[in-house]
Structure 1
Amino acid sequence: MTEAENNAATEFSHAEWNAANLDKFNNADKSRGESERVRNRAMLLINETTGKTNRNQDDINFMLRERQRLVQSWRCELQEELNSNVRETACLEEKLRQLEHALKQTERPLRVATDCLQYRSSRQGIDLVKDEVEMALDAEVACIRDYQEKMREAVDLASSQIDSNKRKQSQLQEDLDNKDKALNIDTECLGLKNTSKNINLQAGVEQIEASGSEPESWRKHSLKNREESHATRGTSAQVRNDIENLLNTACSDLVAHWNRTNQAFKQRINECQDAHTQLTGKLNMIQKEIREQDTFIKKIKQAILGKGGPMKVSQTRLEKRSHRPDVESCNDAPHIGLVSEINAIQQNVDELNEMLKSATDARVDLLNNKIVLERDIEIKTASLRIDKNKCMALRCTFPYQTKCDIASKNPVFYYVYYNIV
């Protein structure tokens, strides 16, 4: 294109030029007005969003404080329940120690009772009898073993309950630890300001879901932990009360059996002493009778010997008179008298010999009874030595310490004094 053609192409009229300028003026004014409206709307939006952001931040701060208050409230309740659980567990552990101590203590009266039964098994003869003492000792042993079984069951139950208490403590402690962490986080969040240095943009963080729980399920979780611990604590208190009742009942029953057995021992000892006294009296009488019988036998023997002289005289006279000659050998009065005298003397000797035999037999019977009485006295003496010197020597005091605090290095023993008979 030539220069003339270019000049011709760029030429506009004055009206077109004015119109173009006016159009530019209008467009500039329109753009400036639109920009001003945008600036005004932007300022309004800035003010609005700033206020809204500040209000939202204030609301969040309020929500965080309320959440802290709620979490702190639950934390206090859980901590109180945990403390109560710990105290109850400590009381139950102490009661368990007392129960284990009592269980060991039952071996002492059991050993005494079994020793008494063993001693009494060495009684002799007729004294080896199933008497009231024997039955009382058997009942005492049965009572002790029955309470030992109950105590072992109570030990197992208490140990299981302590484990259950500690599991609930762990649940409460875990809940408390989680709440402490949440409180620390919310406290840190509440302390954050727009001017804080440790704040950063966290792209996409709003898309992370807090799916651990909802407010209601969160509340129910802590409520469940608290109520379960409370229920376990109630069961623990019942177990502890049952153990206390068992300890008191066991001690009372054991002492009652101990007293009944001691009373049976005393009655049996009195019976044996009475029998021993009577046997000793009878033995003295038998010994006296034996001495008198010996004297009487000597008198009988002397009486028999005393008949020898008269018998010899009578028989000698009769023999001499048998030599009279012929008709002089007359059955006269002297002859008849001598025959009668010899028969009378022989009859007297026979009667004395019979009496001597009876006296000798009586003496033998007395000696036999003396041996029986002496043997029975030995048996009674042995029985008294067993019951009085061996058994009752073990049963002077009830060998049972009711309670023991062994939580410290220096055990403290608690004694309960009973009316021991």
Structure 2
Amino acid sequence: MDSEVLVSRPHYDTRAVALRFRHEEPGARRDVPQPSSGSATAGYRSAKYTPAEWFSNYQAILQQAAAHRTEARSIQRESRALSQDTEADASKNQADGTRLLGQRLQEIHGWQSELRRHIERLQEDTDSLLALRTRLERALDASQTPYAIASDNLKCRARRPGPDLVQDSVEEELLKEVELIRSVQALLRRTADQVVAQIKSNREAKQTLELDWSDKLQAYSLDELSGRHSNSSTDTQLHPSSASVQEQVCNSTSWTKFTQDNLSIAVQEQQSSSSLRALVEQVLQDTTDDLRAQCSRVERAFSQRCEQLLEARSQLEMKLEEILEQIGTQERNIVALQQAIQDKEAPLRVLQSRLYLRSLRPNTELCRDQPQLSLEEESRQLDGAAASLQQRLAEARGSLSWLEESRRGLERDIDCKSHSLFIERDKCLKQRERYPTVSTLSGY
């Protein structure tokens, strides 16, 4: 076979490879060329390792194994010592944690009892204020009845026309009563608003205490469960991120101060509730006494006014009878005048027909002779009589109108007196019989 080949393999210097192997770190990866064989390698240097390379290679492996063994024994000794130390520290720290959890449970339980006591006290105060608010609302509703009575009395009396529209003692007492009721209602509303505001404050303080108590109850449950955990517990898990301190975690001092501040606010609200209850009781008593006293004064004024109205109505009724009689006479006079005017229509038709026919005479026959002069005089007389009758009829009708106006005025005045008497006696005094009692005005 010819010494020239188509494919050649790279040339390796075995001495250079041996020297480079000594300087490499043990365990470093080396690229070992793969030996080739066959006719393709004829006439070239072999890629096999030399004995020196082989010796150096396994010696390096032995040295590396010895170093690793020594290092492993050192780590084992240190690990045993560290395990014993950490085991002792873990046991001690766990015992301290269990002891501190027990102390914490006692502290939480004490604050819970204090919170519960003030929560119950706030609830009692709130219930009492709710009952007082109900009384104030009932008293306010009860005051609407005398206010409606007094207002209706004033409105009805204000509709009286003419001389009946007087500012008498009844109106003065009614105005005083209305003003008194308004001031009483305003006072009751302000007092009710104070009660509602205090109830709201009590509930807010109670809610704050309840939230604090609820948080402590949950914390107590969690700490109690934490205290029961031991190394033999089967319900424990790993939570790596739980050991990190949160940014907004409070300390023991602020934790205690938070509950103390909440309790201080609750005590203030309890004192305010007690003072407000006494105020409400006094307000209800005073307003009831004032309203009943004014009611008595108004009713006395009404009785006096009724006597005056009865006398005035009697006089008006007598005058009305006289006017009615005169109206009847005047109506008969008007009928007679109308008949007289109607009786003049027939002669007037005859006269006007004669004058018309005579106006048709031809030429010189159309002259003012004696018949013509007589007809003209008759026309003047008929016109004058008709005019006199019409004037007298107009005067009679005017008189009748005045009589009717007087009749209507008397009837209106009688109706006014009757209506006023109805207002004073049959309506106002009857309505005042429904005036609320003392217990109703007090909100019971």
Could you tell me the TM-score, scaled by structure 1's length?
Answer: 0.54
| Residue 223 of structure 2 is aligned to residue 167 of structure 1 | no
Q: Secondary structure at the match of 2:188?
A: helix
Is 1:112 aligned to residue 146 of structure 2? no
Alignment pair present for 1:85 and 2:122: yes
Q: Given residue 60 of structure 1, which amino acid in structure 2 is its aligned partner?
A: G
2:284 to 233, 247, 253: 247
- Partner amino acid for 1:187? E
Equivalent residue number for residue 436 of structure 2 = 399
- The secondary structure found in structure 2 opposite 1:112 is helix
Cα deviation code 1:49-95 (max 9, x no counterpart): 74x76555444333222211111111111122122222322332332
SS across alignment from 1:396: helix
For residues 215-260 of structure 1, give each alpha carbon's deviation from its aligned partner in whole angstroms, at most 9, with x where no partner exists: 2211110111111122223323433443333332222211121122
Structure 1 residues 386 and 200: alpha-carbon distance in aligned structure 2, compared to 1, 3 A threshold: closer
Offset at 1:401? 7.8
Residues of 2 paired with 1:74 and 1:210: CA distance?
Answer: 25
The 2-side partners of 1:48 and 1:138 are apart by 93
Structure 2: any 5+ residue segments left out of the alignment? 1-76, 319-411
* Residue number in structure 2 paired with 1:313: none
1:221 paired residue among 258, 277, 280? 258
Matched, 1:130 2:171: no
Question: In 2, are the aligned partners of 1:119 and 1:391 still within 8 Å (CA)?
Answer: no
Aligned residues of 1:114 and 1:141 also touching (Cα < 8 A): yes
The equivalent residue for 1:158 is 195
CA-to-aligned-CA distance 1:348-394 (integer Å, 9 cap, x gap): xxxxxxxxxxxxxxxxxxxxxxxxxxx99998776554322222111
Range that drifts further, 198-207 or 216-225: 198-207
Seen in structure 2, the aligned counterparts of structure 1 residues 180 and 376 have a Cα distance that, compared at 3 Å, is: closer
Distance 1:202 1:117, change over 3 A: closer
Letter in 1 for 2:108: V
TM-score (norm 2): 0.52
CA contact 1:169–1:229 (8 Å) conserved in 2: yes
Q: How does 1:403-414 map to 2 (within 5 A)?
A: none
Give the 5 Å matches for 1:300-319.
none
Q: Closer, same or farther in 2 for the Cα pair 1:210/1:119, shift >3 Å?
A: closer
Cα deviations by residue, 1:312-341 (Å, 9 ceiling, x for unpaired): xxxxxxxxxxxxxxxxxxxxxxxxxxxxxx
Paired residue for 1:142? 179
Give secondary structure in 2 for the equivalent of 1:391. helix
- Aligned equivalents of 2:211 and 2:253: distance in 1? 19
Q: Which amino acid aligns with 1:259?
A: S
Quote the offset at 1:135 in angstroms.
0.9
Partner of 1:333: none
Paired residue type of 1:149 = A
Paired residues of 1:106 and 1:400 also in contact (CA < 8 A): no
Q: Which amino acid aligns with 2:107?
A: L
The correspondence for 1:193, drawn from 227, 230, 233, is 230
CA distance in 1, matches of 2:81, 2:423: 115
Match among 84, 94, 100 for residue 137 of structure 2: 100
Alignment of 1:67 with 2:104, yes or no, is yes
Secondary structure in structure 1 of the residue aligned to 2:236: coil
Shift of 1:206: 4.3
Contact 1:140 1:257 in 2 (8 A): yes
Instruction: Give the Cα separation in 2 of the matches to 1:208 and 1:196.
Output: 25
2:215 alignment counterpart: 178
Between the aligned partners of 1:394 and 1:128, the Cα distance in structure 2 is 21
Query: Is the 2:132–2:277 Cα contact (8 Å) retained in structure 1?
Result: yes
| 8 Å contact kept, 2:142–2:440 | no
Q: Is the alpha carbon distance of 1:208 and 1:382 closer, same or farther for their aligned partners in structure 2, counting shifts above 3 Å?
A: closer
Secondary structure of the 1:129 match is: coil
The residue type paired with residue 176 of structure 1 is W
CA offset at residue 127 of structure 1?
A: 5.1
CA deviation after TM superposition for structure 1 residue 269, in Å: 4.6
Q: Is the 8 A contact 1:102 1:402 kept in 2?
A: no
| Separation (CA, whole Å) in 2 of partners of 1:167 and 1:403 | 32
d(CA) in 2 for partners of 1:67, 1:219: 12
Between the aligned partners of 1:395 and 1:200, the Cα distance in structure 2 is: 81
Separation of aligned partners in 2, 1:242 and 1:93: 15
* Structure 1 unaligned regions, length at least 5: 1-37, 284-374, 405-413, 417-421
Check conservation: 2:135, 2:443, Cα contact below 8 A.
no
Structure 1 Cα separation of the partners of residues 101 and 155 of structure 2: 79
Whole-angstrom distance in 1 between the partners of 2:161 and 2:244: 97
Q: 1:231 aligns to what?
A: 268
Alpha-carbon contact 1:102-1:401 (below 8 Å) kept: no
Counting aligned pairs with the same residue, the percent is: 28
* Structure 1 segment 196-345 matched on structure 2, within 5 A: 196-200=233-237, 202-203=239-240, 205-208=242-245, 212-269=249-306
Please give the root-mean-square deviation of Cα atoms over the aligned residues, in Å.
4.1
Distance 1:207 1:387, change over 3 A: closer
> Contact 1:276–1:381 (CA<8 Å) still a contact in 2?
no
SS of the equivalent of 2:184 reads helix
